[in-house]
Structure 1
Amino acid sequence: MANTPQSKKRARQIERVTAVNKARRSRIRTYLRKVEEALESGDAAVAREALLKAQPELMRGVTKGVVHKNTAARKISRLTARVKALATA
């Protein structure tokens, strides 16, 4: 447990930041789930729209330090390929 005033303050700050990061991560997952659901339904237009909304959210997670840059790039790349394949099929 924190003993010094500084460590107590840091513990409080970490709680707040953790809550914000958790909310961001949840928001990103929701957007990704919407893309996945659109892909499963087979509707290319809806999947494309969902992907266009998910991309900035994922990249915002990168700038805020919630998601690693390469992880976001990989997810976007794979989802884009799947949406493109659905559109051409």
Structure 2
Amino acid sequence: MANTKSAEKRNRQAQKRRARNTAVRTTVKNAVKKARENLTSKDGAKSADAVKEATRTLAKAASKGVLHPRTASRRISRLAKAAAKSAAKAQ
């Protein structure tokens, strides 16, 4: 338990940050999951949009400090690689 006013404030700030980070992480996970599911389907336009949205979400999370930049970059790279493989398979 916080004993000083400043410690109480830091605790409140940490709780706000934790809630915001959790929400962003959930959004990222859902976007990536949606992109992966669309890549397995045959609809190329839909999967391209989903990958684009997931990439945007990952980049935004990295820029806000929720995800480490290299983690976001790695995930974006893997999504792009999967998208390219899916597009090549469709042809």
Instruction: State the TM bucket, normalised to the shorter chain.
Output: over 0.9
Q: CA deviation at 1:45?
A: 2.3
Q: How high is the TM-score relative to the length of structure 1?
A: 0.93
Aligned partners of 1:23 and 1:47: how far apart in 2? 24
Kindly report structure 1 stretches of 4+ aligned residues shifted beyond 4 Å: none
Q: Deviations over 1:41-89 (max 9, x none)?
A: 2433221110111111111101111111111111111111111111111
Q: How does 1:2-81 map to 2 (within 5 A)?
A: 2-81=2-81
**Gaps (5+ residues) in structure 1?**
none
Letter in 2 for 1:51: V
Please say if residues 44 and 83 of structure 1, whose CA atoms lie closer than 8 Å, have aligned partners that are also in contact.
Answer: no
Letter of the structure 1 residue corresponding to residue 63 of structure 2: T
> Is the Cα contact below 8 Å between 2:39 and 2:86 reproduced in 1?
yes
RMSD: 1.0
TM-score using structure 2 length: 0.91
Q: Sequence identity, in percent?
A: 37
